[in-house]
């Protein structure tokens, strides 16, 4: 009985939540609040995307910023040079991220351990360096995108609804994955990769698909954010914050569940806002708070999560795999 009603309850809550957000998007007057809500929705998309391989599969992907930036740069270059609107090319941004994910993932996901995490981290450094250096990205000058001809409120609303839609889409995808054979295979890999392989799970292929699905949504999100902010440069597009936040948000909410990112992402965004307002009020760093303050805090939170939220991490990371043998 309970088992039957629970999905229905979840579905009902989901519909109510989305409905409430739609109403909020139409009714809220404050552009600042709408802006924060949109930021939280972007965070949900990135965290959910990270969640597929990171949460279910237990493989630490430190390349979210790279895929996000690749998506952003793909659409920006197309817009700048050819005048193609990101709304039409966003999918290309996602696909570009998938191509890079394949190049990185095929060799590195074949083996285990922290190798994959390091390679994705280095990928981020490399693409950022490239964006600074090669002519087509215009280096540190960055790229201006064609702004949309809309009044500020309509703009905020537009992107609010775009990311609401994307967040719902990616959450539905993740939920479908969770209840599919593919999802079970990922969890099996996280829990015990040897056993999974023995039971016939094609581990490399499964991890690769999960990595690609995540990279696609990361690239898609980056592409649409580029249109939202209408300017990108290598620092912003490949900001390490975009790599760190999904990890923290997923862990907060519970990695490896489709609900986790829905809880964790808004919570961390809210926390960031509270910190910003508080520190801004104290004036410790002057009237405007440098971005590094929040980075510093998130770094500290990351340490805290790694050290103290061990069960949380154990939920994320498969036990006993690739670990040191104990006697």
Partner 1 sequence: MTSLVAAIVNGLLLGMIYAAISAGLSLTLGVMGLINVAHSAIAMFGAYLAWSAMHAWGIDPVLALALITIGFFFVGMAVERLLVRRVYDEPPEASLLSLFGLMIVLESILVLVFTTTERALPVQYTSAIQIGFVRVGVARLVGGAAALVAILVAHGFLRRSRLGRGIRAMASNRDAARILGVDTERLSMLLFGIGTALAGTGGVAMAMIFPFTPGDHLNWLTLAILVVIIGGLGGLPRTILAALSIGLVESLAGAYLPFQYVSIVLYALLIVTLWIRREGLAGEAVRTL
Q: Which helix (H) or strand (E) holds 317?
A: none
CA distance 205 to 185: 10
**What angle (nearest 5°) sits at the alpha carbon of residue 102, between those of residues 163 and 83?**
50
Tell me which stretch binds partner 1 (CB under 8 A): 13-21, 154-162, 267-275, 290-298: 290-298
Say what the alpha-carbon torsion angle 30, 237, 71, 33 is, to the nearest 10 degrees.
Answer: -10
CA distance 48 to 172: 10
Specify the residue, 30 or 323, whose C-beta has the smaller distance to partner 1: 323
Query: Contact letters (x/-) for partner 1, 89-118, by CB under 8 A?
Result: ---------------x--xx-xxxxxx-xx
Tell me which stretch binds partner 1 (CB under 8 A): 14-22, 78-86, 149-157, 293-301: 293-301
Tell me which stretch binds partner 1 (CB under 8 A): 21-29, 172-180, 265-273, 301-309: 301-309
Specify the residue, 87 or 132, whose C-beta has the smaller distance to partner 1: 132
Specify the residue, 88 or 285, whose C-beta has the smaller distance to partner 1: 285
How far, in Å, are 246, 249, 252 from residue 264 at the CA level? 9, 4, 5
Q: By rule CB under 8 A, what count of residues binds partner 1?
A: 57
Nearest distance in Å: CB 196, partner 1:
16
Specify the residue, 228 or 318, whose C-beta has the smaller distance to partner 1: 318
Q: In terms of DSSP H, where are the helices of 134-240?
A: 152-178, 181-191, 193-198, 203-229, 234-237
Q: How many Å is the maximal CA-CA distance in the chain?
A: 67
Please report, as ranges, the residues that interact with partner 1 according to CB under 8 A. Answer: 60, 62, 104, 107-108, 110-115, 117-119, 121-123, 125-126, 129-130, 132-133, 240, 244, 247, 285, 290, 292-293, 295-296, 298-307, 310, 313-314, 316-327
């Amino acid at each position: 009985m309970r088992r039957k009603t629970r999905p229905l309850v979840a579905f009902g809550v989901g519909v109510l939540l989305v409905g409430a957000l739609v109403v909020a998007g139409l009714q809220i007057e404050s552009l600042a609040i709408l802006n924060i809500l949109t930021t939280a929705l972007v965070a949900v998309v990135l965290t959910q995307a990270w969640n597929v391989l990171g949460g279910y599969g237990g493989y630490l992907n430190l390349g979210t910023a790279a895929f996000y930036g690749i998506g952003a740069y793909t659409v920006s270059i197309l817009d700048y040079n050819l005048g193609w609107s990101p709304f039409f090319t966003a999918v290309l941004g996602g696909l570009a991220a998938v191509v890079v994910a394949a190049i990185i993932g095929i060799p590195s996901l074949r083996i285990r351990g922290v190798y994959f995490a390091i390679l994705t981290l280095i990928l981020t450094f490399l693409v950022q360096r490239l964006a600074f250096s090669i002519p087509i990205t215009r280096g540190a000058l960055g790229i201006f995108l064609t702004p949309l001809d809309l009044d500020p409120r309509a703009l905020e609303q537009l992107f609010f609804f775009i990311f609401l839609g994307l967040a719902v889409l990616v959450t539905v995808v993740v939920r479908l994955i969770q209840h599919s054979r593919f999802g079970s295979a990922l969890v099996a890999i996280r829990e015990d990769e040897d056993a999974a392989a023995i039971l016939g799970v094609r581990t490399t292929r499964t991890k690769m698909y999960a990595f690609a699905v995540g990279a696609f949504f990361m690239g898609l999100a980056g592409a649409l954010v580029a249109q939202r902010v209408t300017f990108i440069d290598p620092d912003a597009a490949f900001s390490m914050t975009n790599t760190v936040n999904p990890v923290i948000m997923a862990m907060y909410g519970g990695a490896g569940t489709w609900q986790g990112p829905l809880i964790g992402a808004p919570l961390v965004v809210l926390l960031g806002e509270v910190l910003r307002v508080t520190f801004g009020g104290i004036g410790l760093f002057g009237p405007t708070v440098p971005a590094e303050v929040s980075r510093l805090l998130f770094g500290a939170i990351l340490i805290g999560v790694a050290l103290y939220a061990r069960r949380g991490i154990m939920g994320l990371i498969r036990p006993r795999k690739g670990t040191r043998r104990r006697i």
